């Protein structure tokens, strides 16, 4: 879950799935990775198509509309104009301006085409595999990807992309963590401005979701041990803390994850 690399690729969740499949089947993980990269695109929903009349599609559309209202108001206050991202729902795999991505990467945002890509099956995985059910847990996932769009509009995403080429792998991973934590905080900023959608227990749902997909939790579940140098999204504690910061303050200037741990 996060911002897609400029040339596509498999995210943290996708790598864990591949490692588990390799262990169960005895296949070389590099072979499985190549199969994912070469996977055919199936059942792609065109960007011009509405999310659908199903419950999940309607929910996604409602949350995306709420993020547009909130961020338009925030940008107007600071003298900017907010341009909302487009939504693409897909199944199995999708080709974007960032390359070919399978559903294994989870939801992602692609900066070059300014689109949020979402496979609705991830919400069921969030409930069954990660123990983070609830509407607000799903809303947090959407708002996090929109947070990457906000970073793109503010120029943060481009600056980070340019910096990565001059960094070691460990340093680039640490920079990615800060970028992802800021998107978590931005998701909280949206939640602060969308109080009309929140019900009792919703905040706890979002915090549980943020904790469930922390790098340390994913690595423990997938490989049995934790390697902090390979973190790209932040620990469970960090993700929950920055989401809470955004929820409490509702201000983007309180989301400077590049200065604070």
Instruction: Enumerate the domain spans of the chain.
Output: 52-89+107-254
Nearest CA among 240, 242, 220 for reference residue 231: 220
**pLDDT tens per residue across span 111-131:** 999 999 999 888 888 777 777
- How far apart (Å, rounded) are the C-alpha atoms in residues 68 and 165? 32
Mean pLDDT of the chain: 82
Beta carbons of 135 and 149 less than 8 angstroms apart: no
| HSE-CB for 100 with a 13 A CA cutoff | 12
- Write the pLDDT tens digit of every residue in 71-112: 999 999 999 999 999 999 998 899 999 999 888 888 999 999
Phi-psi region of 167 (alpha: psi -120 to 50; beta: other; left: phi over 0): beta
Helix H segments across 78-134?
A: 121-128
Q: Are strands 108-110 and 2-3 parallel, antiparallel or unpaired?
A: parallel
**HSE-up (13 A, CA, CB side) for residue 49:** 11
pTM of the prediction?
0.78
Q: Give the three-class secondary structure for 54.
A: coil
pLDDT over 70 for what percent of the chain? Answer: 78
Is the pLDDT at 40 greater than 70? The verdict is no
Query: What confidence tens digit (pLDDT) does each residue in 163-216 have?
Result: 988 999 999 999 999 999 999 999 999 999 998 887 777 788 888 888 888 888
Question: What is the per-residue pLDDT for 208?
Answer: 85
């Amino acid at each position: 879950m996060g911002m897609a690399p400029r040339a596509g690729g498999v995210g943290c969740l996708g790598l864990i799935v591949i490692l588990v499949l390799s262990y169960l089947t005895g296949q070389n993980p590099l072979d499985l990775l190549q199969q994912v990269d070469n996977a055919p695109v199936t059942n792609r929903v065109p960007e011009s198509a509405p999310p659908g009349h199903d419950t999940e599609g309607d929910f996604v559309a409602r949350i995306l509309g709420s993020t547009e209202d909130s961020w338009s108001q925030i940008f107007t206050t600071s003298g900017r104009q907010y341009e909302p991202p487009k939504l693409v729902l897909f199944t199995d795999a999708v080709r974007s301006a960032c390359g070919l991505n399978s559903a294994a990467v989870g939801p992602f945002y692609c900066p070059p085409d300014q689109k949020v890509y979402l496979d609705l099956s991830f919400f069921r995985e969030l409930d069954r595999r990660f123990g983070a059910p609830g509407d607000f847990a799903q809303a947090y996932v959407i708002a996090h990807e929109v947070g990457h769009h906000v970073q793109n509009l503010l120029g943060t995403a481009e600056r980070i992309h340019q910096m990565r080429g001059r960094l070691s792998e460990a340093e680039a991973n640490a920079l990615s963590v800060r970028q992802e934590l800021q998107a978590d905080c931005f998701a909280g900023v949206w939640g602060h401005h969308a109080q009309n959608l929140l019900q009792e227990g919703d905040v706890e749902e979002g915090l549980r979701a943020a904790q469930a997909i922390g790098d340390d939790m994913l690595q423990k579940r997938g490989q049995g041990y934790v390697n902090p140098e390979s973190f790209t999204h932040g620990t469970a504690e960090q993700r929950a803390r920055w989401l809470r910061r955004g929820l409490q303050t509702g201000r983007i200037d309180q989301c400077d994850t590049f200065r604070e741990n």
